[in-house]
Amino acid sequence: MYTETKILSLLSSRRRFPPLNALRAFEAAARHLSFKDAADELSVSQSAVSHQVKALEDALGLALFTRRTRAVELTRKGRLYYPLVRNAFEDIAAGTKLILEETSTHILTLHVYATFAIRWLLPRLVRFEEKYPEVQLRLHTSQLDVNLDQNDIDASIMIGQPTNSDLNYDLLFDAEMFPVCSKRYLDRNPELSGPQDLERYTLLQVYPSASDWQVWLDANNVKGVNPESGLQFESYEVALTSARQGMGVALAQHPFISQDLIDSELVEIFPGKRIRNPARWFLACRTDKRDLKKLEIFRNWLFEEIEVDSQFRS
């Protein structure tokens, strides 16, 4: 049974690392099975490698190599230790490569909601790649907002209000909200003639944006309808897909719903009852990243795409 003292002792021992140079010398020598070849790789003398390995063995209190006249061999302990040290150095190399890529001048790391990515951004990215091959986009899709002060994200396409004074917000567009359902669902429920009738039907709610339904209901002076009584989904994309399958009434946001309406996959239930979402769409980034060339290129392209998109026109 582990006592508290034993556990603290184990934790403390895990933090006592051998000297890094000694580990490098051991890893190279074990990989080559040669102190000379290890020395050539590390650009040091053979004697330096030998001393580093001996220092490591002394620190560990065991032999890692059997020295012979013209060669060295790993001991049983050395054979056990080598793959662990090798893998650790490979992990460090891979991690270093990753963070250097994250801060690369040509990789733009962008946080975006799944619905926006699927329904608007992805179909247009081929044009961005063709026009700006020097900028590589790395997309992180999540329904939750990111902390741009703590995450390795260059910018976020988000909906909300500009509340953080440390961030730069570029307004992209406003969105309209209105209820939709499939034609089949509407045919099954012909008495769904006014917003008050929604109290008898299944509402499909997006729980990361839980207030949206209530905002629409309040704006249309609808009482007694509980949007939390229906089904809950993590994104508008899933909610709208469920609505297309006849599972209930979803709240849609223009312009992401346009193609569904054109294809008659979904029907706007109450024409004339649209409201503007008080939350607005922004491209947000830290103020110190505002003028990054890669971000400036993407920002300008985004504005151009929105400008020519007929869905954003009144």
Render the burial of 229-245: b for 16+ CB within 10 Å, e for the rest.
ebeebebbbbbbbbbbe
Sheet holding 155-160, edge to edge: 136-141, 107-112, 155-160, 280-286, 167-173
Q: What are phi and psi of 232, to 5 degrees?
A: -115, 135
3 state SS of 261: helix
The CATH architecture of the domain made up of 4-102 is Orthogonal Bundle (1.10)
In the predicted structure, residue 10 carries a pLDDT above the cut 60: no
Q: Is residue 275 over pLDDT 60?
A: yes
pLDDT in tens, 125-140: 999 999 999 999 999 9
| Residue 168, strand partner residues | 285
pLDDT of residue 209: 87
Whether 12 has a pLDDT exceeding 60, the answer reads: no
Q: What is the distance between the alpha carbons of residues 302 and 284, in angstroms, rounded to a whole number?
A: 13
Q: Output DSSP code: residue 70.
A: S
Q: Where are the domains of the chain?
A: 4-102, 107-174+279-312, 176-276
Percent of the chain residues topping a pLDDT of 90 = 62
DSSP collapsed to 3 states, 216-244: HHHHCCCCCCCHHHCEEECCHHHHHHHHH
Which has the higher per-residue pLDDT, 10 or 91?
Answer: 91
For 300, the enclosing helix (H) or strand (E) is helix 293-308
> Which architecture does CATH list for 176-276?
3-Layer(aba) Sandwich (3.40)
Q: Are strands 203-206 and 231-233 parallel, antiparallel or unpaired?
A: parallel
pLDDT band at 100 (very low <50, low <70, confident <90, very high): low
Whether 4-102 and 176-276 share one fold: the answer is no
Q: Is a pLDDT exceeding 60 seen at residue 313?
A: no
Task: Give the pLDDT score at 191.
Answer: 81
Task: Write down the pLDDT at residue 104.
Answer: 52
More confident residue, 314 or 120: 120
pLDDT tens for residues 160-207? 999 999 999 999 999 999 999 999 998 888 788 889 999 988 999 998
CA distance 27 to 137: 37
| β-bridge partners, 110 | 139, 155
Q: Residue 25 and residue 260: Cα distance in Å, rounded?
A: 63
Please name the fold of domain 107-174+279-312. Answer: D-Maltodextrin-Binding Protein; domain 2 (3.40.190)
Asked if 242 contacts 233 with a C-beta cutoff of 8 angstroms, the reply is yes
pTM of the model: 0.64
